[in-house]
Amino acid sequence: MDSSTKVFLFRYYHAGTWWTLDIPATDKADAEARLKKLPLARYDGELAVQIPAKVPSFVVRTFVWFRNLTRRSG
């Protein structure tokens, strides 16, 4: 995300609970336009981990190497 991008928050009700959704966009109109495209979305996978940007790159590479190694052997 560049400095002109903001995160806009949306919520929806599903299965008896309120859920939130954050959409990065340049303004509210852009966020609402992106929200309308969600029915066209495709499943890409499951988020395994979020690593803060301040973590040194060798830590990230080591984590990914280890995760890939354990997935191959299992």
What mean pLDDT is predicted for residues 11-19? 95
**Which residues, listed in sequence order, are joined to residue 8 by a DSSP beta bridge?**
23
pLDDT at 66: 83
What is the band of 28 on the pLDDT scale with cuts at 50, 70, 90?
Answer: very high
49-65 pLDDT, tens digit per residue, is: 777 777 777 877 888 88
Contacts of 7 (CB under 8 A, 6+ apart): 22, 23, 24
Whether the pTM exceeds 0.85: the reply is no
For the residues 6-14, what does the mean pLDDT come to?
A: 95
Comparing C-alpha atoms, which of 48, 42, 43 is closest to residue 64?
48
Please answer whether residues 21 and 32 qualify as being in contact, where contact means their C-beta atoms are separated by less than 8 angstroms. no
